[in-house]
Structure 1
């Protein structure tokens, strides 16, 4: 019987789950009348860029599960089921869609800085907003268009996080390419060496 992840995959997943939690220690930056800005989305972006869609989603899933059982793993020391009924729930669930999209883009071919950047923006920003904005509008009772318009205030900070994720992932690829797990289905050549991607 095979397991979905190898031991080293589990280690990578644990490291990135811990990174996302650690970035929550920075605490939310309050914005009057809006959802607070957090550093944790930087960790979500990095999880997708480095681990890929499946492993990145597992890392984010661990954090969401820990929050659901009440551990204070979210920005500002939040956790518990109440988080899933507040205006930020869409952004929290959007981490899953965001990390998957970022991972798919970053690992869709040869890993390059522009692919990392595209993954961070499309996945880490748009992929999160696609769930975050509608659910925030639904829970707060504010019209969708108005909620979307007020969310524009987060774009500069999110773009800075996407740029940081791109720089970090690119530097990590050069310094320690082993951090980037190869696809599980990667075939071995007859010589036993991994086939070129």
Structure 2
């Protein structure tokens, strides 16, 4: 791993942390708040790719584990890992990895601008929403004891906002690819 990779991983970990400064919006029917940090997860995947993006998410999770208040609402520490949102937090790693893998395959250089943008959007939606929800809803249902139906239905309130975040990540991924491509080149 080169110094450039370490800097990019740290930069996107910082972006995820910075998005945590936006106050969370709590909903009364599910214990998971609406936060902007999932946008950072999507951005890390579409801009950095699978490996470096996943390492950025792991770095943020390590910062949480050592007690730094880097999550939305100023949360941090080991107590976070006992809360009902831990499935979404741990799900960041596979979500960003999946987002990066899809982006690396479907938003390659040489494609039209629209195709690249749609590829980045699809990557962010599938990885940053679907994969993340599998982990988050799974833990809410079984680990937090809400039951699958209640956890699933409660999480549906997040879909419109998360699709908007995926659109922003798709546009940002395309803009970065044009100006300063960071996705690994596949040969």
The reply to whether TM is greater than 0.5 is yes
> Following the alignment from structure 2 to structure 1, what is the Cα–Cα distance between the partners of residues 144 and 15?
30
1:64 matched residue in structure 2:
61
1:193 matched residue in structure 2:
none
1:58-137 matched pairs, under 5 angstroms:
58-109=55-106, 110-111=108-109, 112-137=116-141
> Following the alignment from structure 1 to structure 2, what is the Cα–Cα distance between the partners of residues 84 and 140?
12
> Following the alignment from structure 2 to structure 1, what is the Cα–Cα distance between the partners of residues 176 and 28?
36
Q: Alignment partner for residue 14 of structure 2, among 15, 18, 31? A: 18
Tell whether the 8 Å contact from 2:124 to 2:169 is kept in structure 1 after alignment. Answer: yes
2:113 matched residue in structure 1:
none
Extract unaligned runs of 5+ from structure 2. Answer: 110-115
Number of aligned residues: 179
Question: For the pair shown, which has the larger CA radius of gyration, 1 or 2?
Answer: 1
Which consecutive segments of 4 or more residues in structure 1 shift more than 3 A? Answer: none
> Following the alignment from structure 1 to structure 2, what is the Cα–Cα distance between the partners of residues 91 and 41?
9
Deviation at 1:91, TM superposition (A): 0.3
By relative contact order (CA 8 Å, sep 6+), the higher-ranking structure is 2
Q: With structure 1 as the length reference, what TM-score do the two structures score?
A: 0.87
Deviation at 1:169, TM superposition (A): 1.2
Extract unaligned runs of 5+ from structure 1. Answer: 187-196
1:32 matched residue in structure 2:
28
Deviations 1:58-107 (A, max 9, x none): 00000000000100011111000010110100000111110010000000
2:112 matched residue in structure 1:
none
Tell whether the 8 Å contact from 2:104 to 2:184 is kept in structure 1 after alignment. Answer: no
Tell whether the 8 Å contact from 2:46 to 2:124 is kept in structure 1 after alignment. Answer: yes
After superposition, the CA RMSD in angstroms is: 1.3
Deviations 1:105-159 (A, max 9, x none): 0001515112111110000000100110010122332211221011100000101
Tell whether the 8 Å contact from 1:19 to 1:43 is kept in structure 2 after alignment. Answer: yes
> Following the alignment from structure 2 to structure 1, what is the Cα–Cα distance between the partners of residues 69 and 6?
22
Q: With structure 2 as the length reference, what TM-score do the two structures score?
A: 0.92
Higher helix share: 2
> Following the alignment from structure 1 to structure 2, what is the Cα–Cα distance between the partners of residues 31 and 55?
33
1:192 matched residue in structure 2:
none
> Following the alignment from structure 1 to structure 2, what is the Cα–Cα distance between the partners of residues 148 and 125?
13
**Partner SS state of residue 142, structure 1:** coil
